[in-house]
Amino acid sequence: MHQDIEKILYSSEDLSKLVACISDEIAEDYKGKSPVLIPILKGSVMFFADLVRKLPLDCTFDFMSATSYGSGTESSGNVMITKDITIDIKGKDVIIVEDILDTGNTLFYIKNYLNDKYEPASIRICTLFDKPSRRKKDIKADYSGDEVDDMFIVGYGLDFDENYRDLPYIGVLKPAVYKKTKE
Question: What's residue 136's pLDDT?
Answer: 92
Tell me if residue 102 is catalytic: yes
- Whether 174 maps to a domain, the answer reads no
- Whether 162 maps to a domain, the answer reads no
pLDDT by residue, tens only, the chain of 183 residues: 899 999 999 999 999 999 999 999 999 999 999 999 999 999 999 999 999 999 999 999 999 999 875 545 555 568 899 999 999 999 999 999 999 999 999 999 999 999 999 999 999 999 999 999 989 999 999 999 999 998 999 999 999 999 999 999 999 999 999 887 554
Is the bond into 131 cis (omega within 30 degrees of 0)?
no
- Whether 167 maps to a domain, the answer reads no
DSSP 49-74: HHHHHH--S--EE--EEEES-TTSSS
Give the contacts of 28 (CB within 8 A, at least 6 positions apart). Answer: none
Total tally of structural domains belonging to the chain: 1
- Among residues 161, 160, 101, which one has the least CA distance to residue 136? 101
- Whether 169 maps to a domain, the answer reads no
- Whether 48 maps to a domain, the answer reads yes
* CATH number, domain containing residue 82: 3.40.50.2020
Catalytic residue among 50, 93, 99, 102: 102
DSSP 97-136: EEEEESSSHHHHHHHHHHHHHH--SEEEEEEEEE-GGG--
Question: What's residue 10's pLDDT?
Answer: 98
Q: How far apart are CA 36 and CA 39, in angstroms?
A: 10
Give the contacts of 67 (CB within 8 A, at least 6 positions apart). Answer: 79, 80, 82, 106
